[in-house]
């Protein structure tokens, strides 16, 4: 028999009723309407809900589901899930009224054409599943999402409630439904930004498919909960004292543990359960975007930041418009804490996704919402051109696969499927870039087309006008979208003779973060000399050292003037293909790093790393890594930073 813990909590108004085999979540009319009042629906909207509840109860009287529970109670719970996610009234009404044995005219007359259209959309998805191929079913689900994403929101709420009573079905069917949830519906919820629903879908489906591993993780979390909660309380207290009189904290809390994501880290990354440091998670809400960077600076001044774990999704939002700053800090006693920093509005969009869009649709352009579902058009286009097999492959990779995020030299973020190659990235930038690609650089190092991308990398593609696609490329790329474009051009080039090109030579790897290149030795490593610390835009010269490295000096540097006969021409680069690191020295004061981070963010940079340390003589040194758009962008940043209080010096590595 299930325990109470089998169910994701929906609201405190729910109670349990036990039959011989299964517990059901029971909600009556009064409890449902009482809950809806707490969600701030208007009196007119509540009146519509009363009408819908009465109509559903009357129409579904005596009808039971396979579990033996009344169908009416299922509809109430679906509507409650939708209300919990702050859905507009028409979505909640459709959740209440779906599958009622009533004519379309009755629904339309009482609740309007919009509610009727949503109900019909739900019926279409349900009917097609019973009589079509896998590709056609998936295509219909995605088409429905593109046509009116609200329908899929109701479908997801239905799936979530169905999972809670899935034990009534034969085990084989339970597993099939649960796997379908993990393969299709949970990733779809993720793509739409529905974090709360996604987590519940994943946990319930995973519990059914692998109950032994689920219990193992659940028991570990229970056994370690007391110690973990004490540590979280201690850290929260430290952060409150750190920010007192400096920044307002709207909310600070420990983040709930997601069992399925813990399992994925165990299996996909090989991280043992006891080593998953982000079991300590904190989410902090602050009033404004500026406050997000101020808080980040305060945390990185007080605690040791873990290299490579700073993710700035405010400057570069995810494709589903998710915004937040993620960082991992190490406390004095060695505890690793994953911190998420965001504003209340960002938090609402992160948890409620499409529902939050409709709430703010009067304040935000629908253009931003179009970006949230733009990936659908790309995938459905594959189905038109390549057929069902290619469509299924594309959907499984582009919609339901895991992703990494890489950047162009100008700082534009590209979402790529895990295991994507440099050639995939070339096609993601532009089709013409892809077909003429001969190689590229990842974080400043020359690499061939088959090289796999790494998360957070800055990628530059090198092209040759005589290059053309080869059949071997089909084995290099991982994205079905790239494969489709290669096949298209292979057909175009089938009757053309082979063209030769000079292969890319892997010469000396460039130093990560170099702002300068040599005119005479373009593949050489250029390093800014520490004796004069030239700044972007200043007149510079180069001197070749014994280590075959070009040392870059200001033209009036006393050390360089002594070696004038060895000078060579160097120049500041206009664009960059990697992170740029710089350091700042200033008078020691609380909030210095916070001010710096805010200045960097205001200048339009994404922060990749940030830390600070005491330098001595009453001074501090701060180290920051950014991805710039170009030289002028960096020069503007230098001007802004030098205007900050107590600033002594800025230099680039």
Place domain 4-209 in its CATH homologous superfamily. Answer: Hypothetical protein af1432 (1.10.3210.10)
If one compares 313 and 127, the residue with the highest pLDDT of the two is 313
Token representation of residue 432: 């013409």
Lowest mean pLDDT among 105-114, 297-306, 623-632: 623-632
Shortest CA distance to 388 belongs to which of 128, 126, 140, 127? 140
Q: Is 13 helix (H, G, I), strand (E, B) or coil?
A: coil
Written as six digits, the tokens of 352 are: 């409620």
580-652 is a CATH 3.40.720.10 domain: no
Cβ(280)–Cβ(338) below 8 Å: yes
The domain segmentation of the chain, as residue ranges, is: 4-209, 222-364, 402-510, 516-572, 580-652
3-state SS of 602-638? Answer: HCCCEEEEEEEEEEECCEEEEEEEEECCCHHHHHHHH
Measured at the CA of 295, the angle between CA 291 and CA 297, to 5 degrees, comes to: 120
Using DSSP's 3-state secondary structure scheme, residue 446 falls into strand
**Which tens digit of pLDDT belongs to each residue from 479-494?**
877 888 888 888 776 5
What string of DSSP letters covers 378-401? Answer: HHHHHHHHH-HHHHHHHHHHHTTS
pLDDT(578) > 60: yes
Question: Higher model confidence: residue 18 or residue 633?
Answer: 633
For residue 631, what are its two tokens?
């030289």
pLDDT in tens, 56-113: 999 998 888 877 888 899 999 999 999 988 888 999 999 999 989 888 899 999 999 9
- Mean pLDDT of all residues in 579-586: 90
**pLDDT, position 383:** 47
Q: Residue 334 burial (CB < 10 Å; 0-12/13-18/19+)?
A: exposed
Mapping DSSP onto H, E and C, the string for 273-335 reads: HHHCHHHCEEEEECCCHHHHHHHHHHHHHHCEECCCCCEECCCCCCCCCCCCEEEEEECCCCC
Name, of 153-162, 367-376, 409-418, 595-604, the range with top average pLDDT: 153-162
Question: What pLDDT band is residue 360 in, cutting at 50, 70 and 90?
Answer: very low
pTM given for the model: 0.63
Is domain 222-364 classified as CATH 3.30.460.10?
yes
3-class DSSP state of 272: coil
Q: Could you give the CA distance from residue 515 to residue 579 in angstroms, rounded to a whole number? A: 10
| Residue 382 reports pLDDT greater than 80 | no
Q: Give, to the nearest 10 degrees, the angle between helix 195-209 and helix 344-352.
A: 40
pLDDT score of 514: 76
Closest CA to 350 of 190, 161, 487: 190
For residue 361, the model assigns a pLDDT of: 44
Q: For position 534, what pLDDT does the model report?
A: 94
pLDDT in the model for residue 353: 63
Q: How far is CA 503 from CA 9, 41, 423, 440, 480, in A?
A: 60, 65, 15, 12, 26
Ramachandran bin of 548, using left for φ above 0, alpha for ψ from -120 to 50, beta for the remaining angles: left
CB 441 within 8 A of CB 447: yes
Reported confidence tier of residue 144, pLDDT bands at 50, 70, 90: low
Contact between 88 and 79 (Cβ < 8 Å): no
Average pLDDT, the chain: 80
Q: Is residue 389 pLDDT above 60, yes or no?
A: no
Sign of CA dihedral 61, 62, 66, 69: positive
402-510: CATH homologous superfamily? Beta-grasp domain (3.10.20.30)
- Of the two residues 466 and 500, the one the predictor is more confident about is 466
């Amino acid at each position: 028999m299930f325990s109470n813990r089998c169910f994701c909590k929906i609201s405190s108004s729910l109670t349990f009723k036990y039959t011989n085999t299964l517990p059901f979540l029971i909600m009556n009319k009064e409890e449902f309407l009482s809950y809806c009042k707490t969600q701030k629906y208007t009196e007119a909207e509540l009146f519509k809900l009363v009408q819908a509840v009465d109509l559903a109860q009357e129409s579904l009287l005596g009808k039971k589901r396979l579990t033996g529970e009344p169908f009416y109670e299922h509809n109430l719970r679906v509507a409650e899930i939708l209300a919990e996610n702050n859905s507009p009234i028409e979505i909640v009404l459709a959740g209440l009224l779906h599958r009622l044995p009533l004519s379309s005219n009755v629904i339309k007359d009482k609740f309007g054409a919009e509610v009727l259209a949503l109900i019909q959309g739900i019926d279409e998805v349900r009917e097609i599943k019973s009589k079509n191929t896998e590709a056609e079913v998936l295509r219909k689900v995605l088409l429905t999402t593109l046509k009116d994403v609200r329908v899929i929101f109701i479908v997801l709420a239905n799936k979530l409630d169905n999972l809670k009573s899935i034990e009534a079905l034969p085990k084989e069917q339970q597993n099939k439904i649960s796997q379908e949830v993990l393969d299709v519906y949970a990733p779809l919820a993720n793509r739409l930004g529905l974090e709360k629903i996604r987590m519940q879908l994943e946990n319930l489906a995973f519990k059914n498919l692998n109950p032994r591993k689920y219990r193992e993780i659940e028991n570990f979390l229970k056994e370690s909960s007391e110690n973990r909660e004490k540590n979280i309380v201690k850290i929260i207290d430290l952060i409150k004292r750190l920010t007192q009189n400096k920044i307002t904290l709207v909310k600070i809390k420990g983040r709930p543990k997601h069992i399925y994501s813990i399992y994925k880290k165990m299996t996909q990354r090989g991280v043992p359960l006891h080593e998953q440091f982000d079991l300590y998670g904190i989410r902090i809400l602050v009033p404004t975007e500026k406050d997000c960077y101020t808080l980040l600076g305060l945390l990185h001044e007080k605690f040791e930041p873990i290299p490579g774990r700073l993710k700035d999704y405010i400057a570069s939002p995810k494709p589903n418009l998710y915004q937040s700053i993620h960082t991992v800090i190490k406390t004095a006693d060695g505890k690793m804490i994953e911190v998420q920093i965001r504003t209340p509005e960002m938090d609402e969009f992160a948890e409620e996704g499409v529902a939050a869009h409709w709430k703010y649709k009067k304040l935000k352009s629908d253009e931003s919402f179009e970006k949230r579902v733009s990936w659908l058009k790309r995938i459905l286009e594959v189905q038109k051109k390549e057929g069902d097999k290619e469509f299924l492959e594309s959907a499984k990779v582009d919609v339901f696969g895991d992703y990494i995020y890489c950047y162009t030299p100008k700082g534009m973020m590209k979402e790529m499927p895990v295991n994507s190659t440099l050639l995939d990235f070339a096609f993601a930038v532009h089709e013409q870039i892809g077909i003429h690609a001969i190689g590229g650089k990842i974080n400043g190092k020359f690499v061939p087309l088959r090289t796999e991308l790494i998360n957070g990398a800055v990628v530059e593609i090198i092209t040759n006008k005589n290059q053309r696609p080869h059949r071997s490329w089909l084995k290099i790329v991982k994205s079905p979208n790239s494969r489709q474009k290669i096949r298209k051009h292979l057909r175009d080039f089938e009757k053309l003779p082979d063209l030769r090109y000079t292969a890319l030579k892997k010469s000396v790897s460039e130093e990560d973060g170099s702002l300068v290149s040599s005119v005479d030795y373009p593949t050489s490593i250029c390093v800014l000399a520490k004796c004069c610390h030239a700044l972007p835009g200043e007149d510079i010269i180069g001197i070749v050292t014994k280590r075959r490295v070009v040392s870059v000096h200001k033209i009036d540097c006393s050390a360089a003037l002594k070696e004038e006969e060895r000078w060579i021409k160097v120049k500041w680069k206009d664009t960059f293909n990697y992170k740029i690191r710089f350091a700042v020295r200033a008078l020691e004061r609380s909030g210095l790093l916070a001010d710096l981070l805010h200045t960097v963010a205001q200048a339009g940079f994404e922060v990749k790393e940030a830390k600070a340390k005491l330098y001595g003589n009453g001074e501090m040194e701060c180290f920051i890594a950014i991805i710039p758009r170009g030289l002028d962008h960096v020069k503007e940043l230098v001007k802004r930073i030098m205007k900050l209080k107590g600033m002594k010096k800025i230099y680039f590595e």
